[in-house]
Chain A
Amino acid sequence: MRRWRTVIGLEVHAQVLSARKAFCFCPTTPSEANSNTCAICLGEAGSLPVLNLDAVRVALRAAAALRCSSISETLEFDRKSYSYPDLPKGYQITQRRKGLGAGGCVEFEAEGVLRRVGLEGAHFEEDSAKTTYRGDAIDVDYNRCGRALVEIVTLPELESGSEAAACAREIQRVLRRAGASEARFEEGSMRVDVNVSVRDDDHLRPKVEVKNLNSLRAVRAACDYEARRQAEIYDAGGVVAQETRSWDGGETVRSRAKGGAEVYRYAPEPDLPPRPLESLVGRSVADHVDALRREIEPHIPAAVRARLRKRLDPLAAAGLVDADDYGRTARVAFFDACVAHGAKPKPTAAWILGDVAGALRKLEFDTIADSNLSPVDLAELLALLDQGTVSRRAAKDLLPDLLQRRTSSSVEDLVFERGLARISDVAALRQFAREALDAHPNELAAYHAGKKNLEKLFIGKALAASGGRADPVLMRDVVRDCLLQAS
Chain B
Amino acid sequence: MACRRISESVVRGATTAESVVGQALARLEGDRFGAVVSVDRDGAMERAREVDLEVRRGRLRGPLVGVPVVIKDNICTRWWRTTAGSRALADFVPSYDAAVVERLAAAGAVVCAKTNCDEFAMGSRGTTSAFGPTQNPRAAGRSPGGSSSGSAAAVAGGLAPVALGSDTGGSIRLPAAWTGTVGFKPSYGAVSRRGLVAYCSSTDVIGPIGASVEDVAAVFDALAGPDAGDETVATARAAGEELPRTAAVLLDGDLPGVVVDAVRTVASCFPKRRDASLPSLAAACAAYHVCAASEAFSNLARHVVRAMPRSRASWAEGTPDCFGPECARRLELGARLLGERHADALYFRALDVRREVARSLRDIFAHADILVCPVAPHLPPRFDDHLPPADRGGGGDAASRRGDFLDAVAPDLPADYRDDDFTAFASLAGLPAITLPVAGSSSAGLPVGVQLVARRFEDRTLLAAARLVSRLLRDDDDDDDHEEPNASIYY
Contacts and interface: CB of A to CB of B under 8 A. Distances in A.
Interface string B193-224: 11111101110000000000000000000000
A79 B298 contact: yes
Nearest to A265: B338
A229 to B, nearest CB: 24
Interface string A81-113: 101110111110000000000000000000000
Interface bin, chain A = 35 or more
A357 to B, nearest CB: 48
Contacts of B277: none
A48 interface: yes
B89 interface: yes
Nearest to B76: A46
Interface residues of B, number: 49
A88 B92 CA distance: 15
Contacts of A45: 76, 82, 84, 89, 92, 94, 197-198, 302-303
Interface string B298-321: 101111111010111101100100
- B interface: dominant SS: loop
Interface stretch (A134-142, A292-300, A391-399, A457-465): A134-142
B302 A90 contact: yes
Contacts of A39: 94-96
Interface in A1-60: 39, 43-51
A414 B191 CA distance: 74
Contacts of B229: 48, 50
A267 B311 contact: no
Contacts of B75: 46
A323 to B, nearest CB: 42
B457 interface: no
A263 interface: yes
A326 interface: no
Contacts of A84: 305, 315
B78 to A, nearest CB: 10
B305 A81 contact: no
B301 A46 contact: no
A257 B342 CA distance: 26
Contacts of A90: 298, 300-302, 304-305
Nearest to B295: A270
Of the listed residues A45, A51, A272, the one surrounded by the most CB atoms of chain B closer than 10 A to its CB is: A45
A270 B205 CA distance: 13
A257 B98 CA distance: 35
Nearest 9 A/B pairs, CB to CB: A90-B301, A265-B338, A270-B201, A270-B202, A46-B195, A46-B76, A138-B310, A43-B302, A91-B298
5 contacts: A46-B75, A48-B193, A87-B305, A257-B315, A270-B201
Interface of B: 74-76, 82, 84, 89, 92, 94-96, 98, 193-198, 200-202, 228-232, 294-295, 297-298, 300-306, 308, 310-313, 315-316, 319, 335, 338-339, 342, 347
Interface of A: 39, 43-51, 79, 81, 83-85, 87-91, 133, 136-140, 256-257, 263, 265-267, 270-273
